[in-house]
Each structure stands twice: as structure tokens, then as C-alpha cells.
Structure 1
């Protein structure tokens, strides 16, 4: 799944030193690339994080990177990998599903 999504990133934005979170394109069908050449903003990333936490049935409350990290670290490695895959899939579906 990661390789498929990374192929939709702009040229030169798949290296380890490039930003991981890129802003998604908002216009439909304009390109084979799903992402813009700019970083995803802090506010937008926070909103997406909360949406993913709700979709993953994480405990309600103030969802932050710290609370998610604590929640994830309390699970086994297998559960953690499953959760990360589920969150990534939910993100991709949400970004590209018709409104």
C-alpha cells in the first residue's frame, strides 16, 4: 500500500530527507499525482489526526500526538502495526473519496 501511494507523490519527494506529510490535491482528475509540492499545514494535520483517531475507535478526549503515542505504545507490536496500517488506509480513503 505504501509503495502504491508513494508513486503518487511528486518527483523528488520520495526520498528519506523529504517531508512525509504533503498537502493533498483538491482538484479531481487533474493529475496522476495525489499530492502537492508543499508540506501539510499543522492545523490540517491536526484535524486529520482527530478524524483518524475517531475512525480507529481510540478513546475520546483530547487527541494529540502524545496521547496517541501513549495509546499505541501500550499495545503489542502486532496491534501497533495493524493500527498504523488502518490509520493510513483511512487517511487515503478520506482524501480521495467523493464529498
Structure 2
């Protein structure tokens, strides 16, 4: 049996309202973003999806995905869309 990631009070989640494969759990702490997701590998069933837990520096994410005007515009538009969808639920 695989160890499952335990969500604590400081963990946020994002879901695309699909199966569990559409969920990402994340926490921002001490300049890092730790995140957890599951992915089907090979012929695995969704229920047996492989869990992944990774940590990345927040400054590296900003540098890679929010470093120029075009990226900022694209990310800001996506965030606004997510906020609107969240408000409707």
C-alpha cells in the first residue's frame, strides 16, 4: 500500500473537479512551494495512481513563469478565471 499525502491546516488545494488526478495539494512555506499530485503510470488504475511530492523554490517559479510582461498577463488572466470559478461554487 502506498503512503498517501496528509493534508494539514496550511495546505491548499486546487481541483479541476475531475477524479483525484485533477487535484494538486500545495503549501507555501519558508520561500518554497511543496506540492503533491498523483499520476497514472503505464497500466495503473486511477485508484492506484502513483503519488508525487515535490518542493521548488518560490523565486524559481516566479523567475520561470512570471518573469516578463507576457507571462504575467497570461498568469494573471488564469488566476482571475480561477477566482471567478471559486466564487461561483
TM-score, normalised by the number of residues in structure 1: 0.30
Give me the TM-score of the superposition, normalised by structure 2: 0.33
Q: Which has the higher helix share?
A: 1
Q: Which of these two proteins has the greater Rg computed from alpha carbons?
A: 2
Q: Which has the higher contact order (CA 8 A, sep 6+)?
A: 1
Structure with greater strand share of residues: 2
